[in-house]
Structure formats: structure tokens, C-alpha cells
Amino acid sequence: MHPVAHVCHTIPRRLRVRIPSKRGDSDYFAHVSEKLRALHGVEEVKAAPHTGSIVIIYDGELDELKRQAYKQGLFTLKRPPVQRKTLFQNVASAFRSYNKELLTLTSGQIDIPSLVFVSLVTSGMWQLARGNVVLPAWYVAFYYALGVFMHSGVDEFDEGAEIGVEDVDIVD
């Protein structure tokens, strides 16, 4: 069975493919480079075994190059699978981005959980000041504030440790 090569990038006369199953296999990439150079229409081949990719400069049609590579037993050329994100992943990604911007704007002092915590505590105190002591208005605000506080990860930092924006590690 031929290794699967995914098209990473293509423009007329230039193709970059990635062969994940052969990443790091220098012998394979040397063999494939030699075989590709011998194919009709191939002008240049640059293999990078450490990344598992090959750049092919060719004169001709991509479909013909694809057929020749398959016929020679080098690889099966396929489009990479489409990576779809769930709604939750998209929302979480947006919040990570907003959180990063908020941390930058406030020099690392306020993040989204801190902002929500302060907002909920303020809301609860405002409800109490207005005389609205009937459950659940102020109680719910305090309850959610506590929940946000407990899940904010404040215990990850040492007491008294200072944190700057450059110390905050946000993964996108």
C-alpha cells in the first residue's frame, strides 16, 4: 500500500505535499526524490524528511504528476481531511482571544473570570442595597461569583507572586 501524501500547498508548477507516516525517514525521502526527478515534467524536488514534506517544481498537469507518482509506488496524493470545530471549540477559542486582549489591556491584572467575578459580586451588592433580599437575585449572583472564583485557577500561583502580561501563557 502506498503512503498517503496530503497536498499542503499548490500553485501552478509548484506543489508541496506532506507525508506524515514517513516523517523522519531520510531513506524514504531520498528514494522518493530520486524517483520523482526521473518523472516526465518534474524539474526540481526538495525533500525535508524532518518535516515529512516534499516540494515539487513541475511542468505539466497536477493530475498527471499524481498518476505518475502513484504508478511508481511513491505515494497516493490526497487532499487533507477538513478539520471542523464544534460550536463549543469555536466559542472557547473566541473567549481565549478576548481573554488575551483583556490581559494585555490591563497589564495582566484582569482576565475574564476576574471580570465576571467582580461583576457578579457588584450585582449582588447592588441587589442588597436596593433592598432586594428575596431569593434568588443576590444569592444567585454570589453563588455564581463563588463558582467563577473557585474555577479560575487562582491556586495555580504562589501567594504574593507577581504576574506580568509576558508571563501569561494563552494557548490558541
pLDDT in tens, 42-71: 999 999 999 999 999 999 888 888 888 889
Beta bridge partners of 10: 15
pTM of structure: 0.47
Q: Over 80: is that where the pLDDT of 5 sits? A: yes
pLDDT higher at 104 or 162? 104
Average pLDDT over residues 116-135: 81
User: Has domain 4-78 been given CATH number 3.30.70.100?
Assistant: yes
Could you tell me the residue ranges of all domains in the chain? 4-78, 87-156+163-167
Peptide bond into 12 cis (omega under 30): no
